[in-house]
């Protein structure tokens, strides 16, 4: 092989060498052209950069206007929402909370207030009837909202001509945050929905086309800073009391605070572009501040030489781009798509071998090996998942830690399944034998003890009968729990009111007063049999251990209902509550029976939450969600 052929083979097999050769050529072209292109900044280019900064301010002002008008439409639509029912505070609060959670970060609170019956009103005395903040029942002045003044300097009245009208406040300081409020009447015409916003959150998230740029929003009357991207929220002069900028002079000199203004100017250290926000009822002015070094960075070329430089750079980049695009990049993109398909689980992708000897060819072969490796792991994982431990594919060796983990997982899973099957078989035999024998032996003991009670004096026979009845009750409860835990869940619409009354009718109160606070119609989607089995225990225990009073109530939750059972008895022993919390029983920490376990397991089966309070008597709180199902309807507001 000749020297020229070896050189061509080396260049063909090394992409870096080809890239270096072309890069050197392009660099030489750029350097040659750059040596003749070096002139000062022209006034024309400077003016274009000033216009660019002003255009950036205009775009930001228009974006802020669109956002503000969109939020006005949102408040107008929300005020007509079916869930905003001022007469029902629970429904309204739920709607406001959900809407606030789904809204952008700029919206911080929602209120529904009574509409003023007498005018004029300045929007401070109206009573808040619903709110996402703890201000219900207070006057609207508690929110700190300032409805401001109109173009004539008169105080804005808190009144609306129809339910479609929207009122916008001035910017005010609310607990350290610059805020603005939007109000619109509700459908009944007697209330007003108000949303409070922090526009600084949106201003802080603005994107800038210039490096080191800053966005400031000034007030349309005072020219003071209201929102700034990189500074805290506070009313302050734009550049201090001793400096009056062009934009401040323009704001101060206009007769109408809502008159549009725009422009740009060149400061000592920065370029400023400003533009008023084009939205009705908003007098804000957006200012873009860009460092001179950034805004005027491209103004160091003369037009004639700039054309040459662009042409030379274009030619060089065209050569480089063409080589990269039609060479390795296209091949790498094809391999990247195949790699993405494999990463997403598609192992049907074919990895072709073009016979290339450079880095792209090496990448092709490596990806092909990776695919084969993943295919082997996938096949073995499928066989293990299907418990086909004797399949031939499991004999294929997988190198590295993954292979060792697969072998260990297969052995552990096989051993675990075998031990679990044996354990389940033993438990099933023990369960049936113990359940059958225990019941039969208890019947025999009861029979003999009843005869002894007739033939002897004393309370010993009665004590034996009491204990055997308790054992029989535990056996019955165990069978009930076993049936509860082994059956499949079958959600359906359950009337909690009827179910609770039926269960209370089945329990003997023995002089205990039972009070209920249950709505007339409460429907929960859950498993009826499991719920009935779970509720028997807390109701029976409450009546059994109460001194005089048991209360049963139902409370609405965002995803279902809570059932609360309280009594004035001595309370559940701490060791029983600790046993439930630990999830097991020991010699030192155990319960007296299966009642609380029946309650705990039943609530868990219904995806619920269980809690106890033992401060005065016992309060059992059972929180149950609506369970999903193929035919589920919206049963809960």
Among the listed ranges 4-8, 47-51, 56-60, which one has the minimum average pLDDT value? 4-8
pLDDT at 426: 60
> What pLDDT digit, counting tens, does each position of 140-186 carry?
888 889 888 776 777 888 888 888 889 988 888 888 788 899 999 99
Nearest to residue 261, comparing CAs of 289, 227, 311, 221? 221
- Interaxial angle between packed helices 359-385 and 400-455, expressed in degrees from 0 to 180 and rounded to the nearest 10: 20
The full set of domain ranges for the chain reads: 61-202, 400-472, 489-625
pLDDT above 90 as % of the chain: 15
pLDDT at 553: 93
Q: Is the pLDDT of residue 298 over 60?
A: no
> What pLDDT digit, counting tens, does each position of 484-540 carry?
666 678 899 999 999 999 988 888 877 888 999 998 888 999 998 888 888 988 888
CATH 3.30.450 fits 61-202, yes or no: yes
User: How do 560-567 and 609-613 pair as beta strands?
Assistant: unpaired
Buried/exposed code over 382-421 (b: 16+ C-beta within 10 A; e: otherwise): ebbeeeeeeeeebeeebeeeebeebeeebeeeeeeeeeee
Model pTM greater than 0.85? no
CA–CA gap between residue 332 and residue 343 (Å, rounded): 16
More confident residue, 42 or 237: 237
Average pLDDT, the chain: 78
pLDDT at 587: 42
pLDDT at 566: 92
Cα Rg for the chain, rounded, in angstroms? 39
> What pLDDT digit, counting tens, does each position of 247-272 carry?
888 888 888 878 889 998 887 888 88
3-state secondary structure of 604: helix
User: How do 513-517 and 285-291 pair as beta strands?
Assistant: unpaired
Q: Is the pLDDT of residue 79 over 50?
A: yes
Farthest CA pair distance, the chain: 129
> What pLDDT digit, counting tens, does each position of 578-589 carry?
777 765 544 433
pLDDT at 565: 93
Q: Is the pLDDT of residue 100 over 50?
A: yes
H helix runs in 456-527, sequence order: 460-486, 496-506
CATH of 489-625, one of 2.60.260.20, 3.30.565.10, 3.60.15.10, 3.30.70.100: 3.30.565.10
What phi and psi values does residue 365 have, to the nearest 5 degrees? Answer: -65, -40
Highest mean pLDDT: which range of 69-83, 199-213, 431-445: 69-83
């Amino acid at each position: 092989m000749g020297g020229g052929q070896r050189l061509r083979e080396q260049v063909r097999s090394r992409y870096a060498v080809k890239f270096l050769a072309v890069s050197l050529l392009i660099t030489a072209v750029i350097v040659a052209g750059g040596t003749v292109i070096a002139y000062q900044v022209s006034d024309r280019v400077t003016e274009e950069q000033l216009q660019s900064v002003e255009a950036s301010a205009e775009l930001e002002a228009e974006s802020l206007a669109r956002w503000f008008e969109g939020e006005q439409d949102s408040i107008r639509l929300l005020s007509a929402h079916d869930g905003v029912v001022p007469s029902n505070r629970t429904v309204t609060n739920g709607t406001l909370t959900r809407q606030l959670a789904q809204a952008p970060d700029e919206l911080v609170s929602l209120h529904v207030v009574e509409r003023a019956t007498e005018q004029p009103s300045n929007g401070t005395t109206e009573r808040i009837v619903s709110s996402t903040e703890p201000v219900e029942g207070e006057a609207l002045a508690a929110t700190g909202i300032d409805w401001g003044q109109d173009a004539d300097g008169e105080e804005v009245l808190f009144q609306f001509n129809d339910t479609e009208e929207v009122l916008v406040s001035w910017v005010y300081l609310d607990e350290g945050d610059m805020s603005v409020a939007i109000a619109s009447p509700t459908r009944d015409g007697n209330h007003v929905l108000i949303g409070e916003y922090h526009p600084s959150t949106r201003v802080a998230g603005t994107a800038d086309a210039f490096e080191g740029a800053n966005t400031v929003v000034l007030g349309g009357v005072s020219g003071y800073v209201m929102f700034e991207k990189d500074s805290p929220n506070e009313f302050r002069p734009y550049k201090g009391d001793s400096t009056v900028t062009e934009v401040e002079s323009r704001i101060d000199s206009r007769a109408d605070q809502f008159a549009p203004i725009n422009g740009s100017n060149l400061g000592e250290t920065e370029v400023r572009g400003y533009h008023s926000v084009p939205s009705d009822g908003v007098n804000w002015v957006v200012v873009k501040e860009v460092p001179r070094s950034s805004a005027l960075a491209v103004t160091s070329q003369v037009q004639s030489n700039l054309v040459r430089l662009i042409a030379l750079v274009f030619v060089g980049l065209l050569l480089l781009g063409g080589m990269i695009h039609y060479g390795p990049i296209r091949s790498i993109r094809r391999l990247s798509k195949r790699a993405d398909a494999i990463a997403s689980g598609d192992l049907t992708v074919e990895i072709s071998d073009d016979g290339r000897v450079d880095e792209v060819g090496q990448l092709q072969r490596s990806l092909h090996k990776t695919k084969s490796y993943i295919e082997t792991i996938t096949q073995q994982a499928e066989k293990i998942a299907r418990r086909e431990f004797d399949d031939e594919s499991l004999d294929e060796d997988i190198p590295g830690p993954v292979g060792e983990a697969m072998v260990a997982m297969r052995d552990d899973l096989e051993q675990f399944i075998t031990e679990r099957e044996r354990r389940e078989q033993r438990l099933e035999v023990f369960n049936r034998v113990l359940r059958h024998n225990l019941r039969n032996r208890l019947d025999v003991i009861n029979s003999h003890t009843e005869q002894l009670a007739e033939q002897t004096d004393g309370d010993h026979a009665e004590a034996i009968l009491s204990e055997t009845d308790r054992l029989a009750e535990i056996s019955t409860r165990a069978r009930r729990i076993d049936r509860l835990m082994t059956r499949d869940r079958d959600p359906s619409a359950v009337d909690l009111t009827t179910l609770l009354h039926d269960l209370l009718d089945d329990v003997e109160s023995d002089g205990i007063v039972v009070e209920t606070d249950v709505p007339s119609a409460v429907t929960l989607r859950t498993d009826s049999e499991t719920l009935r089995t779970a509720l028997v225990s807390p109701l029976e225990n409450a009546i059994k251990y109460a001194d005089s009073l048991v209360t049963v109530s139902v409370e609405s939750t965002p995803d279902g209902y809570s059932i609360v059972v309280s009594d004035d008895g001595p309370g559940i022993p701490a060791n029983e509550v600790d046993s439930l919390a630990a999830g097991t029983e020991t010699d030192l920490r155990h319960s007296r029976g299966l009642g609380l376990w029946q309650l705990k397991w039943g609530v868990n089966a219904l995806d619920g939450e269980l809690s106890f309070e033992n401060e005065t008597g016992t309060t059992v709180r059972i929180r149950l969600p609506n369970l999903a199902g193929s035919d589920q309807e919206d049963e809960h507001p």
